[in-house]
Amino acid sequence: MNKIAMGHSNKGFTDKGLRRMRDVLASHVDSGKIPGLVALVSRNGETHVEAIGTMRHDGGAPMRRDTIFRMASTSKMIGAAAVMVLLDECKLHLDDPVDKWLPELANRQVLKRPDGPLDETVPARRPITVRDLLTSTFGLGVDMTLMGSPIQNAIFENGLFDTPGQEMPEPDEWMRRLGTLPLCYQPGERWQYHMSNEVLGVLVARVTGQTFETFLRERIFDPLGMKDTGFYVPEGKIDRLPPAYVPDPQTGEFIVWDEACGGRYSKPPAFQAGGGGLLSTVDDYDAFLRMLLNQGMHGNERILSRPAVELMSTNRLTPEQQAFRDDLAKNNVHLSHGQGQHGGWGFGMAVRTYRGDYASIGQFGWDGGSGTSAYADPAKQLTGILLTQVGMSTPDSAHLIHDFWTMVYQAIED
């Protein structure tokens, strides 16, 4: 156990609630389905951390507060923040067509039917804009309702999605391959997951003339003190990275998806993936979420403008886009293990627009398929981060995440 609480006159959590949270988290580890976890909750100046279990499923080194995890799709919010820096500086504008920087996306063709042949298309009604990319509505994405369709097969066959045994190519080649495919929907028509966040990383690099990671380090990581965040783990820190497991859906057996030493995150990647490629710690992500809760401020330094944070962290979907996302989430809740039931979508993260569980309306953040979860709640001035090394091939890590958030909210001292 690694438990740290810094007292404050206006207490953030009850002692009883925190004990109950630890007991529930420990029960998931004791079940044998989650080898280890690190959790952080912060409110009203009080920060509480739990590190439970071990790095490997068969024992070994214990989890620690500074254990580094594969953040998966919780990376998306940081990539969106990088674009907001450029919006603050007028180097980008929300309704700019992206053709100038991403000519591969100019003059798009759109499928007549989302599940139809790739050569049955019509011209796009308008160019793709920066706003379309930030809201995940540019017309292409990973869509569980279209799995097995020609367009979804083409996304995977072209290496546009990071899958085991197939790493994504360097950014220019990745964009070239993306440019050979039609869009699934007209720009701005539908919310679709993931692909836009990968494009945003390339956009940042081309606008700034820097690598995506260099820009993130200069404008977000270093100012926030996020010293353990990046797209790979240097040799001197690799012992702090656990293996990533993808349990067998039938047997529950722990299958190693990625080892630490010699694994895919032990060296710089060809593609710095804004959609899911970051590695980090609970404290680094807490610094980022706290900056958003503080309307863009970190100490005395402004990272983002207040309007930029407000745009990121409030629902940006039109009623039509919202309706589609709601249907997608509700109709596939059995496949997502209950994840994704938020309502809205801001820039790079979900926004709760209705009260569906313990979380407040206005809570923002996201989850990752590697067993990660990171959210902030403006109404409660709360941040919470839960990190594990178990992917969502089984419901176990999703169940842990649900229980974590139930415990966080029941522990609040009102």
Q: Which two tokens stand for residue 107?
A: 């003059």
Same domain membership, residue 172 and residue 103:
yes
Predicted pLDDT of residue 326: 78
Q: Which amino acid is at 48?
A: H
In this prediction, residue 340 carries a pLDDT of 66
Q: What is the pLDDT of residues 65-112, one digit of tens each?
A: 999 999 999 999 999 999 999 999 999 999 999 999 999 999 999 999
Chain Cα centroid distance, residue 250: 27
Query: Does residue 216 form part of some domain?
Result: no
What is the reported pTM? 0.95
Same domain as 232, residue 135: no
Asked whether the predicted pLDDT for residue 331 surpasses 80, the reply is no
Dist. CA 161–CA 259, nearest whole Å: 20
- Regarding whether 298 and 194 lie in a shared domain, the answer is no
- Span 99-143, pLDDT tens digits: 999 999 999 999 999 999 999 999 999 999 999 999 999 999 998
| Contact predicate 98/105, CB 8 Å | yes
Residue pLDDT, tens place only, 347-366: 999 999 988 889 999 999 99
Question: Does residue 217 form part of some domain?
Answer: no
Instruction: Assign residue 261 the CATH number of its domain.
Output: 3.40.710.10
Q: pLDDT by residue (tens digit) across 367-401?
A: 999 999 999 999 999 999 999 999 999 999 999 99
For residues 146-155, average pLDDT: 95
Residue 164 counted as domain residue = yes
Residue pair 345/359 in contact (Cβ under 8 Å)? The answer is no
Which of 8-17, 190-199, 203-212, 229-238 is predicted least confidently?
Answer: 8-17
- Does residue 213 form part of some domain? no
> Is residue 358 within 8 Å of residue 402, measured between CB atoms?
no
Gyration radius (Cα) of the chain, Å: 20
pLDDT recorded at residue 8: 38
Q: In the 3-class helix/strand/coil scheme, how is 248-280 assigned residue by residue?
A: CCCCCCCCEEECCCCCCCCCCCCCCCCCCCCEE
Which structural domain range is residue 93 located in? 79-208
In a domain, 47, yes or no: yes
Residues for the chain: how many in total? 414
